Structure 1
């Protein structure tokens, strides 16, 4: 029997199961992550309303808040480490938030799709072999870029391109820090508690600690 390390992403099997295959626990945790963030996003969405008077004078500043929206995708991918985990968690969070009354309606689901795909792409580029901080930050940046593009033509058609590019810069910073860095730190903190030892990230941590 051969064992595959989750960080190398090789195609060997462990206990007769392919390394990239989903287990029930992987699916359950991904769904729970998405659901938890979906509820939390209702409160976060209200922040936009509260700071509306401030950002109305400088709309690009809203970009600094963007990275938080990608966290379900990032946390799920860093813990579960399966192709599709980021997209699934983000879509669950977005759809649940929409059903609970998000002010952006169906646009919430579209954003979830775009954001989840953006995070997913960063790990796809490594063939799902690397789950490091740089890759996580890249995921946040890609998600921010594609979400900015979607919002530019959906919500900000009248915004001048100079202001739009300034918003893009702020979105990229937010994606790298609030999604990439914060998501990576949150996942590492969860792993350290031992609460996710059954997941890929937890098993890797246990192997490293045993060396």
Structure 2
């Protein structure tokens, strides 16, 4: 066998052994599932704690109750920022929604439908950047688009026939809430976890530690 042939074979073998950056590993599935379940338990608490906030603000300015919506959007964004793989945002949001539905809430099976729509909103943003941008602006945008998806879904399911003023306030409030509560807080949470070394097996953890070194 010639040297060039040997080099080519070695390169091919190396390419086959090198994992695709978009391929899910076992640890990705496990950690994404843990994040989804943990987020779902937070959803359960938020189902209760959000009512004392949403009711008064909604009474003062109808539509503003959507300002609490971001509390149900962070699961997908947090999972995506940690795992950095296609489908992570959708997976995390769906798992969290499933936990919330199984524990029990006022929305029943429609919780899964909401999780699907909200997770897709965030997923589309990460896909638009080809799953290569995981910085704060992208996290904020993912949260905002997820908030937009939440608002549209809610207006169709729960507030059909709402006036333009109510709908506009609801959409804006949901977008702002998604950007802040889901986008910003998830990004900060990942940075905090990375500092502890908990994400050392993920690009998100290694990148954060390198940046601080």
TM-score by length of 1: 0.88
C-alpha contact (below 8 Å) 2:97/2:111 kept by paired residues? yes
Q: Rg bigger for which structure?
A: 2
Counterpart CA distance in 1 for 2:202 and 2:16 is 14
Partner of 2:176: 173
Pairing 1:15-26 to 2, within 5 Å after superposition: 15-26=17-28
Counterpart CA distance in 2 for 1:14 and 1:182 is 38
C-alpha contact (below 8 Å) 1:97/1:108 kept by paired residues? yes
Counterpart CA distance in 1 for 2:66 and 2:86 is 28
C-alpha contact (below 8 Å) 2:98/2:111 kept by paired residues? yes
Counterpart CA distance in 2 for 1:53 and 1:199 is 40
Counterpart check, 1:135 vs 2:138: yes
What CA deviation, in whole Å up to 9, does each residue of 1:56-110 have, x standing for no partner?
Answer: 5233121111112111111111111000111001000001110110111112111
Partner of 1:60: 63
Paired residue for 2:94, among 72, 91, 95? 91
Pairing 1:71-86 to 2, within 5 Å after superposition: 71-86=74-89
Counterpart CA distance in 2 for 1:131 and 1:31 is 20
Query: CA RMSD, aligned part only?
Result: 1.9
Counterpart check, 1:203 vs 2:211: no
Pairing 1:5-154 to 2, within 5 Å after superposition: 15-51=17-53, 53-57=55-59, 58-154=61-157
Counterpart CA distance in 2 for 1:87 and 1:73 is 6
Counterpart CA distance in 2 for 1:14 and 1:204 is 25
Paired residue for 1:182, among 177, 185, 193? 185
- SS for the counterpart of 2:73 is helix
Moved more, 50-59 or 133-142: 50-59
Unaligned runs of 5+ in 2: 1-13
C-alpha contact (below 8 Å) 2:54/2:67 kept by paired residues? no
Moved more, 127-136 or 66-75: 66-75
Q: Paired residues, what number?
A: 199
